[in-house]
Chain A
Amino acid sequence: MNVIEINQLTKYYGKHRGIENVSFSVDRGEIFGFIGPNGAGKSTTIRALLSLIHPTSGSATIFGKDCIKYGSEIRRDIGYLPSEVFYYEHMKVREVLNYSASFYDNVDYRRIESLSEVMDLDLNKRIDDLSYGNKKKVGIVQGLLHEPRLIILDEPTGGLDPLMQQKFFDLIRAENQNGATVLFSSHILSEVQKLCGRVAIIKDGTIVRVENIRDMQKHNYKKFTLDYKGIIDVHHFNLEGITNLTVNENTLHFLFKGDINRIVERLQGQNLFNLLVEEPTLEEIFMHYYQKEDQP
């Protein structure tokens, strides 16, 4: 069963494009990545799912129910961490969290304590005394305290130090193992890589592709690094399937997708110092998706 199903979702702010015909679905129990550069439409999509904004056209369902029509009902089971965390500044952390909890039925208030302990968050501090990272922690506890079935994270790791990021990922994995579905939006690929099974890539308001992370990494691209002894003939590698070709003094880098034998053929007779064939990082694959169409 699909927990989230987005169908041709479009949002225009006046004439300004938000998102266009976004469609994808998230299965129950998966951790689904949602990646794209800033301004691509990740937050717009998420805000439409939460009925904070009204889509221009298209629709989305969560738990099989229309997002706008049954918004309040659906949100009972959603935990949301906004990309920019702001809370009532004059309140204490504990007050904000209790206030948050007061909107849900049957909240286990001990969870506030235990989650805060894991995230190393001081409940007695005032919100306006907190650093950005600590506010983020408040957001995390606030998003998880009612044991949601669907967790929506919009750029969740900004401001968290690596140790906290690790704890946070562990927390999300644990929630996931307990049955929660996760939609994880980010522009940092390494974190999506760590956590997610599938990923939707959004660029300029439209979904470029939905892919299995493993397929994306393993079966598609190889990263080549060639160290030359002499002069590099770039035209030699004018071959279909080669992308992101860069020359740096005596070193040639490129990504290749296709029959590996084509490359081996081309390597014959080349005067090489060294040759490296690697799995590309997601970043590198990603750059490829992001290259503007108008580039040669």
Chain B
Amino acid sequence: MNVFKKEMKANLKSLIIWCCAQVFIIFAGMMKYQGFADSEVDINALFDAFPKEIMVVFGIGSVDISRVAGYYSVFFLYFMLLAAVHAVMFGAVVVSKEERDHCADFVYTKPIRRFQVISPKLLAGVVNILLFNMVTFAASVFFIAQHNKGDGLIDKVSLTMLALFILQLFFLALGAMFGAILKNTKRATAVASGLVMGFFILSVVVDLYDKLAFLAILTPFKYFEGSTMMINDQLSFNSAAILLSVTLVFFGLTFVAFNRRDLST
């Protein structure tokens, strides 16, 4: 409990900053929607004029973005990116920070086992990403309602947030695993954030080249589509099951690797 409390306290400031950034993105994004809606221009026709490649990179595929649900679904790509970076960094740092700060000798010479340090740290991670998720949820519903005659689309947004949370868990576990396996925090955060970028680029490549569609299974960013959740009210069960299983494996590896680790001063 003391480790959990300490981690919550240590990460409070950064969590607030992340949440503010997220709220601002949603706020600014939905403001733009208002701009579109007011201008009475046929947005879909306008965007059709753009090359497909550009639209794909910005996450605007084939959805009808003149409707608020469709417009909002485009955000999912940005949520995923932001949440993935937040979660993966949290995981990589939280596991290895004592060694980075040279105070591993402090915690790990206390009368507790290593998993008793790692578990509350990861729990703090889960709580942090959950709070981030809930702030995203609240901000989304609030700003959608502003532009949708008071209807915040709670059901659709909830489904989207559930998918987001599964992705966050996955990235937290991925980061933690690198934190436990790699030599130091610097290397862990570098590899983890590099991997997030790699996943993202792969997801764009898959969208651009239909022939490479089979590679979609390799990037978690292609497991959930914003439009299926926001428009068709569907969450892929298979995607959720695969991601959660891999997450469990990563968490397991984190514990095993950390237990075997020679802690540096």
The chain A residues found within 8 Å of chain B, CB to CB, are 13, 43, 47, 50, 52-54, 71-76, 78, 80, 82-84, 86-90, 99-100, 102-104, 142
Q: Which residues of B contact A82 (CB under 8 A)?
A: 105-106, 109, 265
Q: Is the CB of A84 within 8 A of B111?
A: no
Q: Is the CB of A52 within 8 A of B103?
A: no
B231-265, CB under 8 A of A: which get 1 and which 0? Answer: 00000000000000000000000000000101101
A48 to chain B, nearest CB (A): 9
CB closest residue in chain A, given B97: A88
Cα–Cα distance between A73 and B262 once the two chains are bound (Å):
19
Q: Is chain B's binding surface mostly helix, strand, loop or mixed?
A: loop
B110-133, CB under 8 A of A: which get 1 and which 0? Answer: 111100100000000000000000
Cα–Cα distance between A84 and B106 once the two chains are bound (Å):
11
Q: Which residues of A contact B2 (CB under 8 A)?
A: 99, 102-103
CB closest residue in chain B, given A87: B103
6 residue pairs from A and B, CB less than 8 Å apart: A43-B265, A82-B265, A87-B106, A88-B103, A102-B2, A104-B110
A86-B102, A88-B101, A89-B101 known; A100 vs B110 contact (CB < 8 Å): yes
CB closest residue in chain B, given A76: B111
Q: Is the CB of A72 within 8 A of B109?
A: no
A43-B265, A82-B265, A84-B265 known; A75 vs B102 contact (CB < 8 Å): no
A4 to chain B, nearest CB (A): 15
Question: CB of B104 within 8 A of chain A?
Answer: yes
Q: Is the CB of A50 within 8 A of B111?
A: no
B63-107, CB under 8 A of A: which get 1 and which 0? Answer: 000000000000000000000000000000000000001111110
Q: Is the CB of A52 within 8 A of B113?
A: no
Q: Which residues of B contact A78 (CB under 8 A)?
A: 109
Q: Which residues of A contact B105 (CB under 8 A)?
A: 52, 80, 82, 86
A39 to chain B, nearest CB (A): 13
Q: Which residues of B contact A86 (CB under 8 A)?
A: 101-103, 105-106
Cα–Cα distance between A78 and B111 once the two chains are bound (Å):
9
For the A-B complex with A52-B108, A52-B262, A72-B116 known, give 8 more contacts whose Cβ atoms are closer than 8 Å: A47-B263, A75-B112, A88-B106, A89-B101, A90-B10, A99-B2, A99-B6, A142-B106
Q: Which residues of B contact A50 (CB under 8 A)?
A: 108-109
CB closest residue in chain A, given B103: A86
Cα–Cα distance between A72 and B114 once the two chains are bound (Å):
9
Q: Which residues of A contact B6 (CB under 8 A)?
A: 88, 99
A45 to chain B, nearest CB (A): 14
CB closest residue in chain B, given A48: B262
A77 to chain B, nearest CB (A): 8
